[in-house]
Amino acid sequence: MPQASFDTTPADPLKIHPEDLPDIQGFIVHGYNMPKSRHFVFTIGQVGAALDFLGALTSGSGALSITSAERWPGSVKPEYALNIGLTARGLEALKLPANVSINPGNFGSFLGGAVAAAKTVGDTGPNDPDHWVTKLNRANADLVHVLLSLYTNTAEDRESYSAQLRAMFAPVIPPAGAPGSDVMEWDVDPEIITDPVTGEKYRQIHFGYTDGISNPIIDEVGLAPVRPNQLPYVPAWQFVTRYGSPPTYVPPTYNMPMPLPFGQNGTFSAFRILEQNVPAFEAFLSADGRDEAAQEFLASKLCGRWRNANPVVFRPLEAGPRLPDYKLSYFDYGTDSVGEPCPYSAHTRRTNSRGGPLVVPLGDKVDHRIMRRADAYGPPYTGVDDSQPRGLAGHFMGVMLADQFEFVMSQWVNSGTFPGGTAEAGIDPLLGNVPDGSSFTYWESGRPVTVEGLSRFVTTKGGLYCFLPSITAIKWMAQNGGASNPWTVPLLPS
């Protein structure tokens, strides 16, 4: 059978070009905003079937195909979008040729897997992988191979496309009763709210905050110039694997996964399932006899935004009408070094210091960014503690997991010594691994105000690290997998 040629040209490390879009998986570059999604995690039991599956996903011969970043004609959403990720053990299971190289120094986090990285990112105690959902937990980590993320517009479409997808991968998974035969399916159903005044649609998470704001924008040919106070566009190589330009090939700050058809135009992702304890959150807000205005004020300090998304930097005392979308992300913290009006420990400041007085003033605005494609799961909270699991699930993407996702989680979200005057700033109350008996401090009129009784609001229930390969890479793997002397996950130096 004639082999397809994979004569791959190195792409621009700094910007995405229009001709790149058909090769990159769509959700890396653009959020789909499709409200009914489902994530499937399964084990590769049959290599030949797995390679056929990868081929079918990219040849057009399968019922569903992988969605690229090519823009939709007329911006009309298709009935489904589908993307695929493979863990290190998943790549190993495909028996790729031995000339595959994934540098352990750059991609050790991916190669070791999410369970091995648990301590780094704060998945300890109640967050420990021993307590994760069965398919992803510590005992089963080596059997986590493939993640499929299916996005649809309606619940009916989600069911019908899921059925077709299950039929496609049924031959791939181990037979019933064999290790890894179970398939995890995780539904994500963000609540879409329409602003009654502007008519703008936005997504809400269970704590009541607006979600999906202020993702990094990957630099792309044809983008408008950066507006005042807008964070710079992020160079393409931080979100899409790129080789670098001669003569020094620096940036990017990694050695490209090789060979080029396999390594280019992909990225890495931390898929996370984060259970949110809304009753505990609401109880914290309403303690000490706080009235509704005081509860909203405290909620704004926990997040750095009011629940309608207005940054506290623009609206320190009350939410006010929702600002237009473009203003929601165009701010930084100026010369504030106390944490007023936005506390250092507020979630949005903990996850992005926006070039604040710590670490590489320019680089910090560009480095350590994460592309978030995660949404609410579980039924909306109606004020009654119904013991239903609910939370946030999805992808946290970036080529250098160690320098992006893991850095933010370990050095900022879960680090209590983040700068902010001489008072200990505290860890991110909305995302961090909050120990019992914690407190939350914000600053008002130059004085700290400490609120006791901060408890854990978020518990990690699952995680995996995956490679999101390009369309070319998926075809390459389909054609070159099943090698007799295959690539294996390298032993990582301790």
Partner 1 sequence: MATTPVQTPLTALIPIKAEFVDELRDKLKNNAIDPSGLDAVGTVHFASIFVFEPNNPSGVPSNLAAVITVYDGDFAAYIQDFVNQASVAEFFNGFLMVVDDPAAAGLVPVQKNAAAFAKLVQKYDNTNPANVPWGQFYSAYPKLTVQNILHPSS
CA distance readout (Å), 198 to 47, 113, 307, 351: 52, 44, 16, 28
| Residue among 410 and 488 whose Cβ is closer to partner 1 | 410
| Number of CB atoms found within 10 A of residue 384's CB | 8
What are the CB-based long-range contacts (under 8 Å, 24+) for 257-261?
257/100, 257/101, 257/102, 257/103, 257/107, 257/467, 258/99, 258/100, 258/101, 259/6, 259/99, 259/100, 259/476, 260/6, 260/8, 260/10, 261/6, 261/8, 261/472, 261/473, 261/476
* Binding of partner 1 by 490 (CB under 8 A): no
For partner 1, the binding residues in 1-30 under the rule CB under 8 A are none
DSSP character at residue 482: S
Which of 18, 105, 320, 379 touches partner 1 (CB under 8 A)?
Answer: 105
Which of 122, 398, 420, 429 touches partner 1 (CB under 8 A)?
Answer: 420
Q: Give the β-pairing of 371-377 and 267-276.
A: unpaired
Integer Cα distance of 170 and 182 in angstroms: 11
For partner 1, the binding residues in 379-418 under the rule CB under 8 A are 400, 402-403, 406-407, 410-411, 415, 417
Helix (H, G, I), strand (E, B) or coil at 354: coil
Integer Cα distance of 282 and 386 in angstroms: 14
Integer Cα distance of 443 and 214 in angstroms: 24
* Binding of partner 1 by 255 (CB under 8 A): yes
Integer Cα distance of 337 and 285 in angstroms: 26
Rama region for 374: left / alpha / beta (φ>0; ψ in -120 to 50; rest): beta
Q: How far is the CB of 430 from partner 1 (least distance, A)?
A: 22
| Residue among 276 and 404 whose Cβ is closer to partner 1 | 404
| Residue among 149 and 441 whose Cβ is closer to partner 1 | 441
Q: How far is the CB of 334 from partner 1 (least distance, A)?
A: 12
Task: Check: CB of residue 449 under 8 Å from CB of residue 440.
Answer: no
Q: How far is the CB of 356 from partner 1 (least distance, A)?
A: 9
What is the total count of residues that contact partner 1 (CB under 8 A)? 38
For partner 1, the binding residues in 423-452 under the rule CB under 8 A are 423-424
| Residue among 14 and 358 whose Cβ is closer to partner 1 | 358
* Binding of partner 1 by 489 (CB under 8 A): no
Q: How far is the CB of 106 from partner 1 (least distance, A)?
A: 7
Q: How far is the CB of 345 from partner 1 (least distance, A)?
A: 14
For residue 284, give the nearest of 359, 207, 373, 192 by alpha carbon: 207
* Binding of partner 1 by 341 (CB under 8 A): no
Which of 252, 311, 343, 394 touches partner 1 (CB under 8 A)?
Answer: 252
Stretch that binds partner 1, among 155-163, 214-222, 276-284, 356-364 (CB under 8 A): 356-364
Which of 334, 357, 379, 435 touches partner 1 (CB under 8 A)?
Answer: 357
Which residues have CB under 8 Å from 332's CB, separation 6+?
A: 229, 231, 354, 355, 356, 365
Residue 372 tokens, joined: 């978030």
Stretch that binds partner 1, among 35-43, 54-62, 363-371, 388-396 (CB under 8 A): 363-371
| Residue among 211 and 340 whose Cβ is closer to partner 1 | 340
Which residues have CB under 8 Å from 470's CB, separation 6+?
A: 23, 24, 25, 264, 265, 266
| Residue among 176 and 362 whose Cβ is closer to partner 1 | 362
| Residue among 3 and 422 whose Cβ is closer to partner 1 | 422
| Residue among 82 and 400 whose Cβ is closer to partner 1 | 400
Integer Cα distance of 474 and 465 in angstroms: 17
Stretch that binds partner 1, among 53-61, 162-170, 246-254, 279-287 (CB under 8 A): 246-254
Residues engaged in binding partner 1 (CB under 8 A): 105-106, 108, 248-255, 337-338, 357-364, 367, 400, 402-403, 406-407, 410-411, 415, 417, 419-424, 493
